[in-house]
């Protein structure tokens, strides 16, 4: 019995700590891809029989090309990631007269790095109105019911990385990755 609970705990721990599909991989995951290119380039330039100033220029040009490729790849990775989250709302009234307003139910971005827009939301079921926060951090579904009955709907919102976050993250990741590669 003890073995089973330890296995269950480890399984849950691994599942909870795993990277989510909508997250980009850590910048360090690119180290194994870019370090060999830099090492090879550096070795080839060192073996050349040219002045040191030319070697430095070649090394800087090669490094710039590697950084440009990484930035392009990293930006594409950020832009390819999204997650669809949902919230269900309902409203029930037992009274045959009047209108009951049950308000909004909201779904929020998984982190501040994500946002949504009106164009990325959809409702299945009853839709008495939708709302998207001005900063795109959440989306809501309004629910009302007139007379006796029940209305129910589900709002689906797609969240993507914010463009301004992506630009900053790509620059930061480039600096950190190439700091590891060069040293």
Structure tokens at 165: 């976050």
Count CA atoms within 13 Å of residue 176 on its CB side.
12
Q: How far is 82 from 85, CA to CA, in rounded Å? A: 10
Stretches in the chain below the pLDDT threshold 70: 1-19
pLDDT at residue 1, rounded to an integer: 44
Is 88:137 a contact under the CB 8 Å cutoff?
no
pLDDT at residue 55, rounded to an integer: 92
**All structural domains of the chain with their residue ranges:** 2-80+165-182, 82-161
Q: How do 149-161 and 82-93 pair as beta strands?
A: antiparallel
pLDDT at residue 147, rounded to an integer: 87
pLDDT at residue 183, rounded to an integer: 83
pLDDT at residue 95, rounded to an integer: 82
pLDDT at residue 18, rounded to an integer: 60
Nearest residue to 153 (alpha-carbon basis) of 102, 112, 98: 102
């Amino acid at each position: 019995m003890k073995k089973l609970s330890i296995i269950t705990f480890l399984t849950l721990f691994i599942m909870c700590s795993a990277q989510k599909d909508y997250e980009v991989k850590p910048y360090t995951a690119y180290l194994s891809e870019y370090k060999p290119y830099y090492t090879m380039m550096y070795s080839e330039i060192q073996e050349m029989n040219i002045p040191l100033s030319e070697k430095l220029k070649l090394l800087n040009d090669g490094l710039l090309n590697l950084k440009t490729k990484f930035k392009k790849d990293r930006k594409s990775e950020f832009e390819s990631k999204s997650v669809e989250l949902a919230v269900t709302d309902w409203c029930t009234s037992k009274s045959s007269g009047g209108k009951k307003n049950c308000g909004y139910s909201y779904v929020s971005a998984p982190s501040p790095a994500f946002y949504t827009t009106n164009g990325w939301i959809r409702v299945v079921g009853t839709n008495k109105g939708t709302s998207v926060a001005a900063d795109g951090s959440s989306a809501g579904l309004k629910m009302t019911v007139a007379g006796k009955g029940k209305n129910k709907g589900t709002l689906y919102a797609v969240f993507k990385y914010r463009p301004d976050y992506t630009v900053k993250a790509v620059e930061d990741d480039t600096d950190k990755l190439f700091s590891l590669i060069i040293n």
